[in-house]
Amino acid sequence: MLISILDLPFGYFLKHKYAPFTYAGIVAAVIWVIILLYGAFWGKTRFQIKQVTYKSSLLPKSFNGYKIVQLSDIHMGCWQGNGTALQQAVDLANAQHPDLIVFTGDLINHKATELNGFEKILCQLKAKDGVYSILGNHDYGPYYKWKNPQEQADNLTTLKQKEVEMGWNMLNNGHHIIHRDGDSIALIGVENWGMPPFTGNGDLEKAIKGAEDIPFKLLLSHNPSHWKKKVLPESDVALMLSGHTHGMQLAFGNHSLAALFSPQWKGLYTNKGRALYVNMGLGYIGIPFRFGAWPEITVITLKTQ
């Protein structure tokens, strides 16, 4: 309609009978309908495995070739009735034979009960050094109308318990030291950090405390805006892994409206040897649709430099 309406001044003022914009509008509408149908029926489960290599002079030699699988933004509410697809994603992640699996937040849409029946699938995620997770903004339940604050707090407690029962290790403003052949790296995780209206419970200083002397620090932080706002200027974290943006579930190559809201919205970003990787997530929120911003399983291989 927006394209076709451009024919009006030609027809009204110039009595122009040919209607090029009307035809262009029809073509655009057909293309858009095809995109919507593909994204709704196939795109939302078109899992993409992204291979990424990150080189750092801070990485100990014993960790050269260390493989990390990153998952993010599963949003369990969108998998109801589609456990087969979620099982496929878990199988793909395990098939990468990772040394470590990390989940960078937003396991649910609103309620911990969304996980019911899916724990047996997610607990299958396996890696040599375990599965580690953090909280995203949705995990706190801020977008649901709770009866009272206590009900919301209980929901978060239940979610944490379920993750532990699945064998996931939660890093809530804490860290874990990974050892290999006498060397070590620090895996650090913060609760969701964000500017309003997003929940901001992330405490980077607290999370790093006790791991200051480990040269190579790997940070899990849900919101990529944390990187430039706090991580780069206030820490020596080498690599940060995030999610959150979903690429707004619609992208054409390297272009998406997500860039208007988050300058770092997908892929690898570097700054003087330090880096951020933004995973576009597995699930969706709102419209059951993905096109171009396909659901992602990231395989990050660490290399010494």
Token reading at 69: 């699988």
Is the pLDDT at 37 greater than 90, yes or no?
yes
pLDDT band at 22 (very low <50, low <70, confident <90, very high): confident
Would you say residue 15 has pLDDT above 80?
Answer: no
Work out whether the CA dihedral 40, 296, 273, 206 comes out positive or negative: positive
- pLDDT tens string 83-118: 999 999 999 999 999 999 999 999 999 999 999 999
Which residue segments constitute the domains of the chain, with CATH numbers given?
A: 4-33 (no CATH), 47-304 (3.60.21.10)
Mean of the per-residue pLDDT values of the chain: 95
Residue 14: what pLDDT? 63
What are residue 271's DSSP bridge partners? 274
Phi-psi region at 97: left, alpha or beta (left = phi > 0; alpha = psi -120 to 50): left
Q: Which pLDDT tens digit goes with each residue over 120-130?
A: 999 999 999 99
pLDDT score, position 16: 61
Quote the pLDDT of residue 4.
82
Tokens of 76: 């369990």
Q: Which amino acid is at 294?
A: W
pLDDT in tens, 244-260: 999 999 999 999 999 99
Residue type, 295: P
pLDDT value at residue 194: 86
Given its phi and psi angles, is residue 247 left (phi above 0), alpha (psi -120 to 50 degrees) or beta?
left
Tokens describing residue 254: 């390297």
Where is pLDDT greater, at 1 or 140? Answer: 140
Is the pLDDT at 267 greater than 80, yes or no? yes
